[in-house]
Structure 1
Amino acid sequence: MKYQDPASFRQALEQRLKDRADGDGALLARIRKRVAFDRLLVRLAAVAREQWLLKGGIALDLRLSARARSTKDVDIEWRAEDEALLDILLDAATHDSGDFFVLTIEGTDAPEDRLGGSHRFKVSTSLAGRPFESFVLDVGHRETQEIRSETLRTDDLLTFAGIEPVEVEAIALEVQVAEKLHALTRTYEGGRTSTRTKDLVDIVLISTLSSLDAESLKREIQEVFTSRGTHPVPYSVPSPPPEWDQPFQHLASEVGIPNKVTGGHRAAAALLDPILSGEVPAGTWEPEIQRWEKSG
């Protein structure tokens, strides 16, 4: 740590973040959250590196950087026994990472069945005796211990102070796509259809920026739908309802993809329908040309 006390570090950090945002209030809010997320992740990596995997919007944010949709929470997949969760989170909150940040992690009253079986916590960060940022931590648990992962590296927002990024394990991109397809197509409490426009946006964004493996994607889709047991794997991506037009347009504009929901559906269908129908059993998704290149 380059700075000798919390106050001087906070002053330097706040100025550095403002300079980086260059007058963009939304960007400033986003990178402040990133700093807070990073401080939780470095602590979790220190006390329980092998017991969790990063997922959700923050994993996409690390993969896709400025192109990803902004997120206000952290999602992790828990590998250890549920009984150990609270103790490990407490250990993480009290772990001294040498960064002057203080973290508190508190449970919430959100019922697990409303969260797909996840536990929800509120994480608050403070620096130099004053609040910095707070956010939600959702912790899910997967019955199977076998899940594909890859190593991601957090942002370099604190290297100016001598604090290096940390490497974390995240669920593989094919798993994320499978989970987003599941959320997009399931029926929710009271018979409500999905309102998760953000998942369609994320699938389209992934399709424009990332390569995917057909066999892995098919396998992960089957695994996610089987383990959650809410509904069968669809044969194609369903058309979004008209009420998705406006929220899709807003989110799509944020990440720089075409903002018509009909175009978003076509892009998602181009990626997923050949997998769901079995048309492409093996191959690689080529984002530059927006199609599968079959192999074998």
Structure 2
Amino acid sequence: MVKEQNKKYESAYAFRRALEDRLNNLSKKEGIALDRLRKKIAFDRLLARLFKNKQNKWLLKGGYALELYLRDIARTTKDIDLSIPEKKKINKEKIRELLQEEAEKDIKDYFQFLIGASYQDLHQPVYGGWRYPVEAKLDNRTFTKFHLDVGIGDEIISKPIWQKGHNLLNFAGILPAKVAVIPREQQFAEKIHSYTFPKDKRNNSRVKDLLDLVLLIQHCKLRKAILKQSIEKTFQNRGTHHLPEKLESPPADWGKVYEKLADECKSSKGNTDEAFRYLDKYWEKLYKFW
């Protein structure tokens, strides 16, 4: 007798119905927003396609990379961030074509992905980058929508880490994606670069960087020598501002947003004052390396 968790579905319709039933039950049981569960699955299925060919040049970074590092500790993320470390400019239309070509791979999970034209430029990566809209479809219906950011030219000091995605489709015999993720030290370097961006160019969307930096320090074993190199290279290559000896405290209007994010991932640093003191102490010790 075939166990239910290994059952295969013979049509997209049957799979969709079974998946939606499971997600609805899981959402009610665990108190997790249904759209968050949908996005987790869509992220995993798109990344399974993008990393099926291990020769591809892109790496996962950002909030979802943290989620794969930390699992249930990380904050919710609504998008996917990719980094292409190549030291050359790449046309945004060419990137979209490459992404769509990989996204169209049939990996027997009934999902389809449509990647639209870039609608926003990214400026912090060395050679910039672009934001693309993504629609995930299942059984010819929209499953969820999100955006995909691709940054070009950020140098990676050490080897990427291969991480497994979420195992939410085991009931259908579908294995989680295996994804190449930027090293934790590079993640910290890019986060501290964003956090220390000049105030007139910084906004509330960066409040998540404060929490992510705290989580990286608390839960990841950051290798100091590699971390130092990663920070130096990130600031040097991006060339937007100097590496600061002292960190500036976060704006007062970050408070409520931070507290909501910290509560979601059960962070012990529940407000911006606690988070900043913790980060500042770590940075003070780290800066002595320079």
Assess same fold via TM > 0.5.
yes
Deviation per residue, 1:167-208 (Å, 9 max, x gap): 1111000111111100001127xx334531110011112222
Amino acid at match of 2:67: D
SS of structure 2 residue aligned to 1:22: helix
Counterpart of 2:201? 192
Pairing 1:157-168 to 2, within 5 Å after superposition: 157-168=168-179
Deviation at 1:238, TM superposition (A): 1.8
Pairing 1:43-62 to 2, within 5 Å after superposition: 43-47=49-53, 49-62=55-68
Instruction: Give, in whole Å, the separation in 1 of the partners of 2:110 and 2:71.
Output: 26
Deviation at 1:89, TM superposition (A): 1.1
Counterpart of 1:290? none
SS of structure 1 residue aligned to 2:175: coil
Instruction: Give, in whole Å, the separation in 2 of the partners of 1:174 and 1:113.
Output: 21
Alpha-carbon contact 1:184-1:194 (below 8 Å) kept: no
Residue from 150, 163, 171 that aligns with 2:161: 150
Instruction: Give, in whole Å, the separation in 2 of the partners of 1:89 and 1:12.
Output: 29
Instruction: Give, in whole Å, the separation in 2 of the partners of 1:203 and 1:146.
Output: 19
Deviation at 1:237, TM superposition (A): 2.4
Asked if 1:132 is matched to 2:143, the reply is: yes
Pairing 1:66-77 to 2, within 5 Å after superposition: 66-77=72-83
Alpha-carbon contact 1:48-1:88 (below 8 Å) kept: no
Pairing 1:88-237 to 2, within 5 Å after superposition: 88-113=98-123, 117-142=128-153, 144=155, 148-187=159-198, 191-195=200-204, 196-237=206-247
Deviation at 1:48, TM superposition (A): 5.9
SS of structure 2 residue aligned to 1:75: strand
Amino acid at match of 1:226: Q
Identity of aligned residues (%): 35
- Higher mean C-alpha deviation, range 228-237 or range 78-87: 78-87
TM-score, normalised to structure 2's length? 0.88
Instruction: Give, in whole Å, the separation in 1 of the partners of 2:132 and 2:144.
Output: 14
Deviation at 1:30, TM superposition (A): 1.4
SS of structure 2 residue aligned to 1:136: strand
- Higher mean C-alpha deviation, range 25-34 or range 61-70: 25-34
CA RMSD of aligned residues (A): 2.2
Residue from 29, 33, 36 that aligns with 1:27: 33
Counterpart of 2:43? 37
Asked if 1:64 is matched to 2:75, the reply is: no
Alpha-carbon contact 1:207-1:267 (below 8 Å) kept: no
Counterpart of 1:86? 96
Counterpart of 1:13? 19
Instruction: Give, in whole Å, the separation in 2 of the partners of 1:222 and 1:42.
Output: 32
Structure with the bigger percentage of strand: 1
